[in-house]
């Protein structure tokens, strides 16, 4: 950034302010004015996914506990009413309350109460007593990715969060497991979250979840933009075109492999997509880019000695015990001195972790007993499976890092499949 730019000058001015250690030293009207200005600035700077995070994930933050769940509920109502699209269509002229009432059928007493709530969180702007207009954030809420994320979080994850206090209390405040936690309490099931959601009654919600995850990945910075794939993978990959270059473990519909092929056209070696049969059937034949292969990552790995086992946003779905099983199967199938595991996941900061990351961590905990991990937690987990971290590439706190891991020379992998264990030499 140009040090002489107005934005940089503003940053320097704000940074130089000697802020009071407690807001009690400010007059109430001054504090409220500052809060209003900060809120407007925050709304203006938000990315679409930061808006989603604010509306959904941060409901457990103490200072928002009494407000944000209700605000999220009103956003969910607005989605059902088709309100956001209707307001965006009006452009800068906006809509009157009578027009909105005619379109939505909401009664005259309830409507302004809903509209005022949406305006308070930046999703509408009130021009006068009867006149409302869309904001940039209103447009964000017409994005299918955001809409599906809001619906999934409210409709499926919402009841899980409601169970969190009682669920933790009755288990003496121990970390939930994959099959014993708030999701099981909320839905009276013994299944793990990612198994339970496959129930046909949740087909619409599963579609919302998949749409959200696909859109989130497409809207995020690619790991290939900051990880040296050419130097660390392609440079010493086997020249044999029949050799396996990348196995994308739990890779969904194959978007990760398509991304690799797009950035590095016709890479030497085969690209293999692995996931459950239902997902592989959705992925189809791979469009000539990858080979689809039905595989359960809790079972023995059938592909031996690839250059890369790629595992993206999978391990945070599971507690350490399940992750260890997944990684042990990979370690048992790796070629020493050649194969690597690339893990594309968040690495939680040891100090001052962002609310974005801590919010996702709570979602993973509630959904399946999973977690976001710190560097030391990743190191310990990988070591328990006979692997060690070579290096971690991190762009920023809110982008998934790339953890490059190799077989630990001090560990020996005995056996294969379910009997594979890592033993320190």
> Which sequence positions are flagged as catalytic?
316
Q: How far apart are CA 189 and CA 102, in angstroms?
A: 43
For helices 144-152 and 203-218, angle between their N-to-C axes, nearest 10 degrees? 130
What distances in angstroms separate CA 141 from CA 71, 116, 151, 211, 236, one per listed residue?
A: 14, 17, 11, 14, 45
d(CA 137, CA 50): 11
Distance CA 31, CA 367 (A): 38
- Dihedrals φ, ψ of 287, to 5°? 55, 30
User: How far is residue 248's CA from residue 271's CA, in Å, rounded to a whole number?
Assistant: 8
Which 3-state string (H, E, C) describes the chain? CCCCCHHHHHHHHHHHCCCCCCHHHCCHHHHHHHHHHHHHHHHHHCCHHHHHHHHHHHHHCHHHCCCHHHHHHHHHHHHHHCHHHHHHHCHHHCEEHHHHHHHHCCCCCHHHHHHHHHHHCCCCEEEECCEEECCHHHHHCCCHHHHHHHHHHHHHHHHHHHHHHHHHHHCCCCCCCCCCCHHHHHHCCCCCHHHHCCCHHHHHHHHHHHHHHHHHHHCCCCHHHCCCHHHHHHCCCCCCCCCEEEEEECCCCCHHHHHHHHHCCCCCCEEEEEECHHHHHHHCCHHHCCEEEECCCCCCCCCCCCCEEEEECCHHHCCHHHHHHHHHHHHHHCCCCCCEEEEEECEECCCCCCHHHHHHHHHHHHHHCCCCEEHHHHHHHHHHCCEEEEEEECCCCCCCEEEEEEECCCEEEECCHHHCEEEEC
The strand pair at 340-345 and 401-407 is best described as: antiparallel
């Amino acid at each position: 950034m140009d040090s002489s730019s107005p934005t940089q000058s503003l940053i320097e001015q704000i940074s130089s302010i000697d802020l009071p250690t407690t807001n009690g030293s400010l007059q109430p009207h001054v504090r409220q004015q500052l809060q209003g200005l900060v809120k407007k600035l925050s709304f203006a700077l938000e990315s679409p996914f930061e808006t989603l995070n604010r509306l959904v994930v941060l409901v457990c933050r103490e200072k928002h506990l009494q407000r944000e769940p209700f605000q999220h509920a009103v956003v969910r109502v607005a989605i059902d009413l088709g309100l956001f699209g209707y307001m965006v269509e009006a452009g800068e002229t906006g809509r009157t309350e009578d027009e909105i009432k005619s379109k939505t059928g909401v009664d005259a007493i309830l409507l302004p109460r809903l509209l005022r709530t949406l305006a308070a969180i930046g999703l509408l702007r009130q021009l006068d007593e009867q006149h409302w207009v869309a904001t940039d954030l209103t447009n964000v809420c017409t994005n299918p990715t955001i809409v599906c994320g809001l619906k999934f979080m409210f409709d499926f994850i919402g009841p899980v969060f409601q169970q969190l206090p009682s669920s933790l209390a009755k288990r003496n405040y121990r970390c939930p497991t994959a099959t014993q936690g708030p999701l099981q309490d909320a839905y009276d099931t013994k299944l793990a979250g990612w198994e339970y959601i496959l129930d046909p009654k949740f087909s619409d919600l599963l579609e919302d979840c998949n749409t959200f995850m696909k859109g989130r990945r497409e809207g995020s910075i690619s790991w290939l933009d900051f990880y040296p794939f050419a130097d660390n993978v392609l440079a010493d990959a086997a020249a044999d075109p029949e050799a396996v270059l990348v196995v994308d473990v739990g890779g969904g519909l194959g978007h990760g492999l398509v991304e690799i092929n797009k950035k590095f056209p016709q890479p030497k070696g085969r690209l293999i997509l692995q996931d459950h049969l239902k997902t592989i059937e959705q992925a189809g034949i791979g469009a000539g880019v990858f080979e689809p292969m039905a595989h359960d990552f809790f079972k023995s790995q059938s592909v031996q000695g690839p250059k890369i086992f790629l595992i993206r946003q999978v391990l945070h779905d599971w507690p350490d015990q399940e992750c260890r099983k997944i990684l042990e199967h990979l370690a048992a199938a790796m070629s020493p001195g050649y194969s690597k595991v690339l893990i594309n996941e968040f690495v939680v900061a040891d100090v001052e972790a962002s609310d974005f990351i801590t919010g996702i961590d709570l979602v993973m905990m509630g959904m399946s007993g999973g977690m976001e991990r710190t560097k030391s937690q990743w190191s310990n987990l990988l070591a328990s499976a006979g692997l060690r971290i070579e290096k971690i590439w991190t762009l920023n706190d809110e982008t998934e890092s790339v953890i490059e891991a190799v077989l630990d020379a001090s560990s020996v992998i005995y056996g294969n499949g379910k009997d594979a264990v890592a033993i320190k030499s």
